[in-house]
Amino acid sequence: MPNQLGPEYVRAIAPYQAGKPISEVAREFGLDEAKIVKLASNENPLGIPESARRAMETAVAEIGRYPDANGFDLKEAISKRYNVPQEWITLGNGSNDILELAAHAFVQPGQSVVFSQYSFIVYALATQAVGGRGIAVPAQKYGHDLAAMRRAITSDTKLVYIANPNNPTGTFIPPNEIEAFLQAVPKNVVVVIDEAYNEYLNPELQYESTDWVRQFPNLLVSRTFSKAYGLAGLRVGFGLAQPPITDLLNRIRQPFNVNSLAQAAAIAALNDSAFLQKSAKLNADGYRQLVQAFDELGLEYVQSFGNFVLVKVGNDDGAGARVNLALLKKGIIVRPVGGYGLPQWLRISIGLPEENAAFIAALKDVLA
Ligand SMILES: *Cc1c(COP(=O)(O)O)cnc(C)c1O
């Protein structure tokens, strides 16, 4: 193959399908941008917290300089907030960066990575990008089957990805099950627990994954500022792990992977507990609004612990794409999940009450 550039495993990667931007849908369907409702990327419908906006405005003055490559102030804030040493923290350009760094640091071509069917597609992409072999373990009720995932680990497995809550299905794994899994996994296998939606969990479901980081040297926990903190466009997240893992991730990350505005905004957002509470409350109310409509319409959905709901919109494999297109024509952007092997389903991000209502009205029309 003289003209083929790059390794076969890179050429085989199917690009990540992001939620359609509002501007693109407006152009494609001849709609007014202001009337379009986007419930497609699990963003916080409140947008950026005021505290973070102010911090960024101050930080703009120094934008001519490189950011702090070590992110000292942000690490300090995370360290205080989670009561962990700075030596445990890796900052990432979104938590996506942390997920990819883990694959780069621990997986060589041909080695395997275990994750769940219907879990975040980035796990498969990050695995493939380093020539790893992804093992997608069949899901149980749309969530992780940790016992089966444990059995799927072989002598060449280097990494396991777990999402809790999971995207796109919204399922939650109780902490006792995760702890049992961590006890059972071979010590030379790194386990990533991706907690992108942790801030949306009810207080009674909250658990301290930092206790596990203390206990398990092969554990990496990832968190993001993209969801409940309302900073998706800035790209900032972080990983928590003991120094041997953290040290490796920090060697291979780009020196300036988190920009100065993102660092400043993240510090402000991290300490803005009022904003987090408001976001969680809005989300819980919006969840009830959506599932009540699904119940009325007789639609099956998966109980969600995140800021989105997976709903089944038909019984044939064209249903998701068909309903999605009909919704787009009405200016409602949601997320088809055919790429996840769920062609009968759509994932709806929970929006403002009026956005949820607009989606529900459009869905009723489309299904009538
Ligand atoms: C949204 C999401 C992320 C976070 O992505 P960022 O790169 O931090 O914006 C990570 N994991 C899951 C499961 C997600 O849904």
CATH number of the domain residue 302 falls in: 3.90.1150.10
Please name which of 91, 41, 85 lies closest in space to residue 267, comparing C-alpha atoms.
91
Residue 107 lies in a domain: yes
Report how far residue 262's alpha carbon sits from residue 75's, in angstroms, rounded to the nearest whole number: 13
Averaged over 114-136, what is the pLDDT? 97
Instruction: Tell me the pLDDT tens digit for each residue of 21-41.
Output: 899 999 999 999 999 999 999
Total structural domains in the chain?
2
Helix (H) or strand (E) run with residue 103 in it: helix 95-106
Question: Tokens representing 122?
Answer: 């980035």
Please name which of 187, 186, 119, 125 lies closest in space to residue 150, comparing C-alpha atoms.
186
Instruction: Tell me the pLDDT tens digit for each residue of 74-103.
Output: 999 999 999 999 999 999 999 999 999 999
Does 259 share its domain with 357? no
Domain end marker among 272, 296, 312 = 272
Residue 290 lies in a domain: yes
More confident residue, 97 or 14: 97
pLDDT of residue 26: 94
The CB of 196 under 6 Å from ligand 1? The reply is: yes
Whether residue 175 is predicted with pLDDT greater than 90 in this model: the reply is: yes
Give the residue whose CA is nearest to atom 3 of ligand 1. Answer: 196
Give the residue whose CA is nearest to atom 12 of ligand 1. Answer: 196
Report how far residue 98's alpha carbon sits from residue 249's, in angstroms, rounded to the nearest whole number: 8
Share above pLDDT 90 across residues of the chain, in percent, rounded to a whole number: 94
Whether residue 2 is predicted with pLDDT greater than 90 in this model: the reply is: no
Does 151 share its domain with 80? yes
Ligand 1 atom closest to the CA of 227, numbered from 1: 1
Give bridge partners of residue 38 from the DSSP assignment: 333
Residues 6+ positions from 274 with CB-CB distance below 8 Å: none
Instruction: Tell me the pLDDT tens digit for each residue of 176-209.
Output: 999 999 999 999 999 999 999 999 999 999 999 9
Mutation test residue for ligand 1: of 95, 100, 194, the one with most atoms within 8 Å of CB: 95
Does 29 share its domain with 43? yes
Does 127 share its domain with 211? yes
Residue 3 lies in a domain: no
pLDDT of residue 15: 80
Residue 341 lies in a domain: yes
CA 103-43-258 angle, 5° bins: 50
| Cβ count near 216 (within 10 Å) | 18
Question: Tokens representing 223?
Answer: 């968190």
Instruction: Tell me the pLDDT tens digit for each residue of 275-300.
Output: 999 999 999 999 999 999 999 999 99
R_g of the chain computed on alpha carbons: 21
Residue 2 lies in a domain: no
The CB of 42 under 6 Å from ligand 1? The reply is: yes
Give bridge partners of residue 136 from the DSSP assignment: 115
Domain end marker among 236, 253, 272 = 272
pLDDT of residue 85: 98
Give bridge partners of residue 133 from the DSSP assignment: 112
Instruction: Tell me the pLDDT tens digit for each residue of 314-353.
Output: 999 999 999 999 999 999 999 999 999 999 999 999 999 9
In terms of DSSP bridges, do strands 301-302 and 308-312 run parallel, antiparallel, or are they unpaired?
Answer: antiparallel
Residue 213 lies in a domain: yes
Does 192 share its domain with 75? yes
Report how far residue 199's alpha carbon sits from residue 192's, in angstroms, rounded to the nearest whole number: 18
The CB of 257 under 6 Å from ligand 1? The reply is: no
Does 342 share its domain with 250? no
Query: What DSSP line would sit under 13-49, residue for residue?
Result: PPPP-PPPPHHHHHHHHT--GGG-EE-SS---TT-S-
Give the residue whose CA is nearest to atom 1 of ligand 1. Answer: 196
pLDDT of residue 81: 96
Whether residue 163 is predicted with pLDDT greater than 70 in this model: the reply is: yes
Instruction: Read off φ and ψ for residue 46, nearest 5 degrees.
Output: -80, -15
Ligand 1 atom closest to the CA of 232, numbered from 1: 9
Residue 126 lies in a domain: yes
Give bridge partners of residue 115 from the DSSP assignment: 136
Averaged over 144-149, what is the pLDDT? 98
CA 233 to ligand 1 centroid distance, Å: 12
Domain end marker among 226, 248, 272 = 272
The CB of 269 under 6 Å from ligand 1? The reply is: no
Residue 1 lies in a domain: no
Give the residue whose CA is nearest to atom 15 of ligand 1. Answer: 167
| Burial class of 46 by CB neighbour count within 10 A (0 to 12, 13 to 18, 19+) | middle
Compute the mean pLDDT over every residue in the chain, rounded to the nearest whole number. 96
Whether residue 19 is predicted with pLDDT greater than 80 in this model: the reply is: no
Strand intervals (E) in the chain: 37-38, 89-92, 112-116, 133-137, 157-163, 190-194, 219-224, 237-240, 301-302, 308-312, 332-333, 335-336, 345-349
Does 251 share its domain with 124? yes
Does 280 share its domain with 209? no
Per the listing, tokens 């996994």 go with 185
Ligand 1 atom closest to the CA of 120, numbered from 1: 13
Question: Tokens representing 174?
Answer: 């109780």
CA 329 to ligand 1 centroid distance, Å: 28
CA 176 to ligand 1 centroid distance, Å: 24
Residue 305 domain boundaries: 8-47+274-367
Does 33 share its domain with 97? no
Backbone region of residue 142 per phi and psi (left: phi > 0; alpha: psi in -120 to 50; beta: other values):
left
Does 241 share its domain with 348? no
CA 242-243-249 angle, 5° bins: 100
Does 263 share its domain with 313? no
Band the pLDDT of 143: cuts 50, 70, 90.
very high
Does 147 share its domain with 241? yes
Please name which of 295, 296, 367, 287 lies closest in space to residue 332, comparing C-alpha atoms.
367
pLDDT of residue 20: 83
188: domain CATH number is 3.40.640.10
